[in-house]
Amino acid sequence: MADYVIAPPAIAALPVRGGGLFPVRRIFCVGRNYAEHAREMGSDPDREPPFYFTKPADSIVINGADMPYPTETKDLHHEMELVVAIGVSGSDIQEADALNHVWGYCAGLDMTRRDIQNAAKKTGRPWDMGKAFDHSAPLGELVPAGSIDPGKGLIELKVNGQVRQTSDLSKMIWAVPEVIANLSRLVKLEPGDLIMTGTPENVAAVQRGDLLEGVIEGVGTVTTRIV
Ligand code: MN
């Protein structure tokens, strides 16, 4: 055993459909990957290269658990996203080979303190405190990749039973194999890494008490209540 001077932190993990846990190493997130969402954020959705931010692995909220309303915000937004789980390491991965690095997929929410993120954008400062706060990543059960096609399928989020976001995975500006190839040129991807692939349009604020229920056709669901 290593001679740790304090107790080592727990390994963050995602429950897998059918049993078992997927240990989580890092969480990468793609910014502005659907044209209509880029527009609503005031950006030009032309095919500029994808860009990334991260969340800590221990920001995950397990499916069905409550998400505490975070501190220091009055504008907590939902962003419904497809999440890719990497099972095979690689750098400089080719697009044609990219899906061979995927272990599975889940539905997820990139919860955002929009007021803090917007202030950071204005001043050219990092997004971390807008994106990478505690409990900022409610994620559904992980599903083995099997025959899942991440290139198409309904992606939808309901808040208190009302549809808030609805789109299709085919509308991603950068498709999953392109994201994996691009990101793997910037960092070596490792087993346990997650990639949140961006949200479609109609992000909006949620309040304490709201029930968020997301679904991705052919993948699964993510559910959390804001408390
Ligand atoms: Mn997002």
Q: What is the CATH number of the domain that holds 221?
A: 3.90.850.10
- Dihedral, 50, 55, 221, 149 alpha carbons, nearest 10: 30
Q: What is the pTM of this model?
A: 0.97
Residue 224: pLDDT band (50, 70, 90) is: very high
User: Is residue 2, in this structure, part of any structural domain at all?
Assistant: no
| Nearest in space to 157 (alpha carbons), one of 145, 144, 166, 148 | 166
* pLDDT tens digits along 120-136: 999 999 999 999 999 99
Q: Does 222 score more than 90 pLDDT?
A: yes
- When divided into structural domains, the chain yields a total of 1
Residue 38: pLDDT band (50, 70, 90) is: confident
130 touches 113 (CB < 8 A): yes
User: Is residue 35, in this structure, part of any structural domain at all?
Assistant: yes
CA of 31 to the centre of ligand 1 (A): 6
CA of 4 to the centre of ligand 1 (A): 35
User: The tokens of 127 are what?
Assistant: 């997004």
Q: In terms of residue numbers, what domain contains 138?
A: 13-225
CA of 224 to the centre of ligand 1 (A): 17
User: Is residue 198, in this structure, part of any structural domain at all?
Assistant: yes
pLDDT at 48: 82
CA of 171 to the centre of ligand 1 (A): 15
* pLDDT tens digits along 135-177: 999 999 999 999 999 999 999 999 999 999 999 999 999 999 9
User: Is residue 104, in this structure, part of any structural domain at all?
Assistant: yes
Q: Is 74 exposed, middle or buried (0-12, 13-18, 19+ CB in 10 A)?
A: exposed
33 touches 173 (CB < 8 A): yes
User: Is residue 7, in this structure, part of any structural domain at all?
Assistant: no
CA of 43 to the centre of ligand 1 (A): 14
